[in-house]
Amino acid sequence: MRVNSNSDGRTAAAEPVAKPPNVRSIIKAFQVLEAFRERDRFLNLSDIAAATGLDKSAVQRFTRTLRDLGYLEQEPTTRRYSLGRRLLDLSFWFLRSHPLTDRAVPVLVDLRQAVGERVDLVLPDGDFILYVIRMQAKREAVRPALVGRRVPQFCSAGGRAMLACLDEAEALRIITASDRRAFTPHTKTDPDAILEEVRKARAKGYAVQSQEWLLTETVAAAAVTDNAGKPIGAINIAAHASDLRMAEFERRIAPALLAAARELKG
């Protein structure tokens, strides 16, 4: 908003200041990169055009430029594209510069040794949580071990642990605004039922969910907060859902989980 003053010194009505226009070519370039979400590793120009809505000639220009920069790679024989290794450079520098990830690593190493299960650090990302550190303790499939996975807050232990640090109205706003699809037969999608899980997390200091995101996992999580009590991340401990009963799982891991979250409070 721009505020003008009249000649007599009084403040005139504020005039809205137009936002500068977005750079459309940058938006389109990222649309091309994001066409590879949840799809096969290799895409041809027609696949990318269909996913982005861009015409084929525009796709060809963007893919060639992104390939030359290293953000896409091209298979020599089929000429199809895949995401490029240069993207990992940006991931590295994000993780290297984030104030929480660097100091979290030694805490997570000790926690994994104490509980003998996989431990993760997640960050809030809108209505989602984002996995930024994952430390395996057992042999498991590759997907649960990769960083960068985004999971809805409403059905994740880390998300509910962070929602428990907010006032109830804000937590309910995030829950109701989420795309509350059922990822498994056990996923809670009713806002009142989810809010009840958030209340339990607030009372205990940690959240637990079993088989709501993956049928194979039971996860407990405690929020990491700043000095004002605002959630800035969460620590997860994940075990195979068939390994032990919920009460036994909580009794075994809760003290170490809460201690780790307190240690990272900043």
pLDDT of residue 11: 43
Reference 185, options 212, 209, 208; nearest CA is 212
Distance CA 103, CA 100 (A): 6
Distance CA 115, CA 256 (A): 8
Considering the segment(s) 24-84 as one domain, its CATH architecture is Orthogonal Bundle (1.10)
pLDDT of residue 19: 61
Torsions phi, psi for 97 (to 5 deg): -95, -10
Distance CA 135, CA 109 (A): 8
What one-character DSSP code corresponds to residue 190? -
The residue assigned the tokens 């949580």 is 129
* Contact of 178 with 152, CB cutoff 8 Å: yes
What are the residues whose beta carbons fall under 8 Å from the beta carbon of 70, sequence distance 6 or more? 84, 85, 86
Count of beta carbons in the 10 Å neighbourhood of residue 105: 13
Instruction: Pick one of 2.40.50.220, 1.20.120.80, 3.30.450.40, 3.40.50.300 as the CATH number of 98-264.
Output: 3.30.450.40
Check: pTM over 0.85? Answer yes or no.
Answer: no
pLDDT of residue 172: 94
User: In a structure prediction context, what are the per-residue pLDDT tens digits for the chain, which is 266 residues long?
Assistant: 444 444 444 444 455 555 666 778 899 999 999 999 876 789 999 999 999 999 999 999 999 999 999 999 999 999 999 999 999 998 999 888 898 998 999 999 999 999 999 999 999 999 999 999 999 877 666 566 678 889 999 999 999 999 999 999 999 999 999 999 999 999 999 999 999 999 999 999 999 999 999 998 999 999 999 999 999 999 999 998 886 688 888 999 999 999 999 999 97
Query: Domain residue spans in the chain?
Result: 24-84, 98-264
pLDDT of residue 138: 72
Beta strands in 2-117 (DSSP E): 72-74, 81-83
pLDDT of residue 37: 86
Torsions phi, psi for 3 (to 5 deg): -105, 125
Distance CA 23, CA 26 (A): 6
